[in-house]
Amino acid sequence: MSPPYPLIRIDPRAGCAGHELRELWQYRELLGFLIWRDIKVRYKQTATGVAWATRPPLVPMVLVTGIVGGLANFTLGFLRSSHRLFGTPHGDTFTQENWAIEEYAPLGLTKAQTDFNDGPIWKEVKSSPDFWATLDPINPSAMARINRIQNKIFITDRPGINTKEQSAYFLQSWGIEDPIVIVGSKKGPIAAEQHVTAVIDDRYSNVIDILGACPNVFAGLLYCPYNKMYHEEWVNRYGGSVVLSVDHFIDTCYSRGLVVDKPEEDVSALEQIIRDEIAAASAV
C-alpha cells in the first residue's frame, strides 16, 4: 500500500563541490551574519577579537570572586530577611560594619535560627528566586570603574536558585555590561584556567586557594570584620595584600599595570572586516 503523502528521497550529490560553493556564495550574506553573531558572542568583552585565544600571555584578566561581600551588600540583605521573619534590627542605622554572619547574638537570634543548613533565614535566602539579584551595591561608583576594565570575570559559590543568572542580573543592574559569571566553589582552578593576573575576595580560604593555584597573581583580601583575624598571617606568611575597598584594589591594579581599560568602541578588527564584507555584499 502506497503512503498517503509523496515520498521524497534525498541523496548526497556526486561529483565536485561546485554546487555547494555556488550556494554558499548565493547565501554569503546570511553566512556572514551567522559568523559575525558567533564571533560577537564569543569575544564580546575584548577588542582583540580572535586573538582572545592567545590572550593569556598578552592581556591581563581580573577576577572578582567576592560578588557577595565585595560588591553586593549581603549583610543588609540578610538583615532584611531576618527582620521580615523575626523583627530584628536592619538598615543603615544598624552596626553592619561590625556585624559578621556568625555573630547572631547581637541580633537577638539563636544559632538555630541562623544555621546555614537548617536555619529559617538561610532557607529563605536559598529558596528565593531574586535574593541575590536584588541586593544593593556596597559602592555604585566602584561598579562603574570595574565596568571600564577590559577583561574581567566574576565567580560566585553562593547557594540558591539560579545563582548565576541572579548574579549576572545584579551586576548588569549596577552597570556591568555583559558580565561573565562562573559558579564554582574552588576558585583556584578557575583562576588558573582563566590566566588571572589580579583577584579580590572577602574570604580568606578563597585567596589562599587562588594563590596556591596562581603563585604570581596579585591577590587582595578585602578588609572585612569577619576576616580580620587572618590579616597578619595573610601578609606575613603568604605575602598577600589586604585592600581596604574595591576602589583600593582597582587603584593598585592600575598602578601595577595589571588592568587595561576597554576601548571606547569594543569592536574587534575581525568583526570590523566582517561588517565591511557584509556591507559590500549588500551593495552588489
Q: Say if residue 32 is in the same domain as residue 99.
A: no
Tell me, yes or no, whether 106 and 145 share the same domain. Answer: no
- Quote the percentage of the chain above a pLDDT of 70: 70
Say if residue 68 is in the same domain as residue 165: yes
240 and 228, same structural domain? Answer: yes
Residue 153 near residue 194, CB atoms below 8 Å: yes
Which of 94-98, 155-159, 273-277 has the highest mean predicted lDDT (pLDDT)?
Answer: 155-159
Q: How many domains does the chain have?
A: 3
Q: Are residues 143 and 243 in the same domain?
A: yes
| Predicted local confidence at residue 242, as pLDDT | 95
pLDDT band at 243 (very low <50, low <70, confident <90, very high): very high
Q: Tell me whether residue 261 is in a domain.
A: no
Pull the grid cell for residue 95.
Answer: 552596626
Q: Is the pLDDT of residue 220 over 90?
A: yes
Range of the domain at 279: 28-43+268-283
Task: Round the average pLDDT of the chain to a whole number and report it.
Answer: 77
pLDDT score of 254: 92
Whether residues 111 and 146 share a domain: the answer is no
Whether residue 174 is found in the same domain as residue 232: yes
What percentage of residues in the chain have a pLDDT greater than 90?
A: 25
Instruction: Answer whether residue 6 is part of any domain.
Output: no
Q: How many CB atoms lie within 10 A of CB 17?
A: 10
Which tens digit of pLDDT belongs to each residue from 32-54?
Answer: 777 776 665 555 544 444 444 44
Q: Does residue 143 share a domain with residue 206? A: yes
Question: Residue 68 sits in a domain of what CATH number?
Answer: 3.40.50.1000
Residue that is last in its domain, among 83, 101, 127: 127
Amino acid identity of 122? W
Same domain? 67 vs 197:
yes
- Give per-residue pLDDT as tens, 117-138: 888 988 998 898 999 899 989 8
pLDDT at 59 over 70: no
162 and 274 in a single domain? The answer is no
